[in-house]
Structure 1
Amino acid sequence: MKALLLSGGSGTRLRPLTHTSAKQLVPVANKPVLFYGLEAIAEAGVTEVGIVVGDTAEEIREAVGDGSAFGLDVTYIPQAAPLGLAHAVLIAREFLGDEDFVMYLGDNFVVGGITDLVDAFRTEQPDAQILLTKVPNPTAFGVAELDAAGRVVGLEEKPARPRSELALVGVYLFGPAIHEAVRAIEPSRRGELEITDAVQRLIDTGRDVRSTTVSGYWKDTGNVTDMLEVNRSVLETLERRIDGAVDAGSEIIGRVRIEAGAKVTGSRIVGPVVVGPETVIADSYVGPFTSIAGGCRIEDSEIEYSIMLRDSSMSGVRRVQASLIGRNVEVTPADRRPAAHRFVLGDHSRVRISS
């Protein structure tokens, strides 16, 4: 079995952060989301991985390399434009050959991994296995319709009138029959080759398509709210480890990981929290479910339930929460007089002001 990991796409829902960085490399608990997918694939015993890349190809290549750090053999597959999940299968035909494969969306997060799913697919050998989960907003996803016996009878991408609450999770398992299906379908109204249409063709031609409802935790990390929720979920499993320097005037409570080279003085940190290497936290409060990357500086400030990327700083700022702070960002107080707000904001930003 091989794996196809999708790492193209423009990440519009995470802008302005993704104007300058691949959405799959935004960190959760100080590790890129993409790495969790690679680790899950390796744990399932799959070693040959094709990574579909787009505009951020060089950044993905630099982060992943040849895959040896994960015990994988990685092949990069360029995609000129994000033309749909089925298009990714189409352009990966030479790499995939006629082997079974798992297709994993690089910005998705599945707690518990995919080992059991891969093992069952290898044993039972259906033509396709899709993962489903109940969601409150099925119009934003591919949606599956099941019959009374639980068999998949219909699939539709982002339907205006969903026939169920069951959304497709971003992990699929396929046999070689999928290749004929992706060649046979036409672009959707969105101009993309939809994987839902390809799987529907398998159903229509009598192929064996099965589904599994995910009982564990799954998130599509395409927006800030979900990124913070996934960060929270991962930090829940954090083990306490203090490798950095903490002075006697600081208080460290609960599951806190402070990496080597980090320095904490006169501060209170309440876990779960992870603090990256060479980060300095002075006279500050860091609250639960916060990830601070390496090379950051937090002075005389308060932050909780947030993600701060590398080489950013915060000074003299009271209570930042539920925030995603990018790389090389500087956060400081505004002047008290005149009473005005001053911003430098990227396209598609969202701002909430307490006044």
Structure 2
Amino acid sequence: MKGIILAAGRGTRLYPMTRPVCKPLLPVYDKPLIYYPLSVLMQAGIREVLVIVPPGEVDTFAALLGDGSQLGMNIQYTVQPVARGIADALLIGREFVNGDDVCLVLGDNIFWSPNFQQLLKQAVANNQGATVFGCYVDDPRPFGVVEFDQDGKAISIEEKPQNPKSNYIVPGLYVYDGQAMDIAANLTPSARGELEITDVNLEYLHRNQLQVVPMEENYVWLDAGNANSMLQAAQTIHDLQANQQQYVGVIEQLAYQEGWISHDQLHQLGEELSMTEYGQHLLSL
């Protein structure tokens, strides 16, 4: 399975912070925002990743993540010339995916739960068509909302409804088989001129090939799209790491746990950051 991170948003809701730097490169507590979606793909066991960035930003992202070899990964970059919606990532990444299954994650979404890695690996291993996740939120209207029947099976998904049929929304994490590229290629842009990822999910639903996995109660999902949510995300990561000793988004640690790098390589990466608490954590492993 391949991985795609859609990190091409300019982050206009965060102006003026994002005028000189892309939103996925902003700090969320002790690491760049993009570390969190990258860690999601790593927890799913995915080593080949395409990062989709805004025009003119390939070198900036590459300066941070390189080609992934230091993590035992293969990280490539490409550009989304014009913001055309989330499903456009499937078209941009079509050659990279090359018929494989794909896990698509948004560059500003943060996920954590005690068993999140197990949940992800099960979703990847058991995917038959498409697998998405359901998160309970108090106000689902800004999102894609899932309706379930009495047996807990998803029967509809509605994008940004005024009268939601449930409080469960689909966050920015999607697992698809090879059909997704053709489905995306046949989409019609919505009224706002975008290729909607909800339309991809609806097509799988119509084919009876969509599985919606509800997240358990003890989970964190954060959409770091504005200043308040960035602050909340930073505080949440701080609290998890300080109070519960649950380190989140530490990509070097994940690479070591997956067996992609050796203990000596992990130690070297920690030495390069030894002046920080982040580096000291790596050296303590």
TM-score range, shorter chain: 0.7 to 0.9
Q: Does the C-alpha gap of structure 1 residues 161 and 62 become closer, same or farther in structure 2, counting only changes over 3 Å?
A: same
2:68 equivalent to 1:67:
yes
Once the two structures are TM-superposed, the CA of residue 220 in structure 1 deviates from its matched residue by 0.3
Match of 2:139 among 137, 140, 154: 137
Q: Hey, what does 1:184 align to over in structure 2?
A: 186
C-alpha contact 2:53 2:79 (8 A) present in aligned 1:
yes
Cα separation, partners in 2 of 1:70 and 1:38, compared to 1, 3 Å: farther
2:145 matched to 1:150?
Answer: no
The answer for the alignment partner of 1:231 in structure 2 is 234
Question: Aligned-pair distance for 1:77?
Answer: 2.2
Query: 2 CA distance for matches of 1:141 and 1:59?
Result: 30
CA distance in 2, matches of 1:106, 1:160: 26
1:261: how far off? 5.8
Equivalent position of 1:171 in the other structure: 173
Match for residue 53 of structure 1? 53
Amino acid in the other structure paired with 2:3? A
Most deviating of 127-136 and 176-185: 176-185
Q: Which runs of 5+ in 2 are unaligned?
A: 244-272, 281-285
Distance 1:275 1:6, change over 3 A: closer
Partner of 1:217: 220
Task: Give the direction of change, closer, same or farther, for the CA distance of 1:99–1:117 in structure 2 (3 Å limit).
Answer: farther
Q: AA paired with 2:201?
A: V
Contact 1:181-1:199 at 8 Å conserved across structures: no
Please give the alpha-carbon distance, in whole angstroms, between the structure 1 residues aligned to 2:72 and 2:38: 9
Q: CA deviation at 1:186?
A: 0.4
| Partners of 1:153 and 1:202 in 2: CA distance | 11
Provide the residue aligned with 1:254 in structure 2.
Answer: none
**How many Å apart are 1:260 and its aligned residue?**
6.2
Alignment deviations for residues 299-346 of structure 1 (CA, whole Å, 9 cap, x no partner): xxxxxxxxxxxxxxxxxxxxxxxxxxxxxxxxxxxxxxxxxxxxxxxx
CA distance in 1, matches of 2:240, 2:28: 12
CA distance in 1, matches of 2:199, 2:235: 34
Instruction: Return the alpha-carbon distance in structure 2 between the equivalents of residues 7 and 123 of structure 1.
Output: 25
Contact 1:178 1:199 in 2 (8 A): no
Scaled by the length of structure 2, what TM-score is found?
Answer: 0.80
SS in 2 for 1:62: helix
Contact between 1:42 and 1:72, CA under 8 Å: does it hold in 2? no
Q: Residue 23 of structure 1 aligns to which amino acid in structure 2?
A: K
Letter of the structure 2 residue corresponding to residue 20 of structure 1: P
Q: Is the 8 A contact 1:29 1:234 kept in 2?
A: yes
- How many equivalent residue pairs? 247
Pairwise CA distance, 1:125: 2.7
The AA in structure 1 aligned to 2:93 is A
Larger relative strand fraction: 1
With a CA cutoff of 8 Å and minimum separation of 6, indicate the structure with the bigger relative contact order. Answer: 2
- Give the SS at the match of 1:238: helix
Distance in 2, matches of 1:275 and 1:78, equals 30
Inter-partner Cα distance in structure 1 for 2:188 and 2:222:
29
In structure 1, give the amino acid aligned to 2:35: F
Partner of 2:7: 7
Contact 2:146-2:168 at 8 Å conserved across structures: yes
User: Partner letter of residue 221 of structure 1?
Assistant: A
Q: Secondary structure at the match of 1:66?
A: coil
Q: Which runs of 5+ in 1 are unaligned?
A: 241-258, 263-273, 278-355
- Check 1:50–1:275 CA distance in 2 against 1; reply closer, same or farther (3 A cut): closer
What's the CA shift for 1:58? 3.1
Match of 2:42 in 1: 42
Structure 2 Cα separation of the partners of residues 156 and 6 of structure 1: 22
- Specify the code of the residue in structure 2 equivalent to 1:57: V
Give the 3-state SS of the residue equivalent to 2:145 in structure 1: strand
Q: Partner of 1:93 in structure 2? A: 94
Aligned partners of 1:41 and 1:114 also within 8 Å: no
Match of 1:185, SS? coil
C-alpha separation between the residues in 1 aligned to 2:275 and 2:169? 43
| Residue identity opposite 1:49 in structure 2 | V
Which has the greater radius of gyration?
Answer: 1
Within a 5 Å distance, the mapping from 1:95-134 to structure 2 comes to 95-112=96-113, 114-134=116-136
Q: Distance in 2 between matches of 1:12 and 1:22?
A: 10
SS in 2 for 1:181: helix
In 1, Cα distance between equivalents of 2:4 and 2:27: 21
Q: Which residue, 160, 163, 185 being the options, matches 1:161?
A: 163
Paired AA for residue 49 in structure 2? V
**Which residue identity does 2:134 align to in structure 1?**
L
- Tell me the secondary structure at the aligned position of residue 85 of structure 1: coil
Normalised to the residue count of structure 1, the TM-score between the two structures is: 0.65
Percent identity over paired residues: 32
Cα distance, 1:79 vs structure 2? 1.0
**Distance change (3 Å), C-alpha of 1:67 and 1:13:** same
Q: Which whole-Å CA distance do the structure 2 matches of 1:119 and 1:260 have between them?
A: 32
RMSD: 2.3
Please state whether the residue corresponding to 2:18 is helix, strand or coil: helix
Partner AA of 1:149 in structure 2 = D
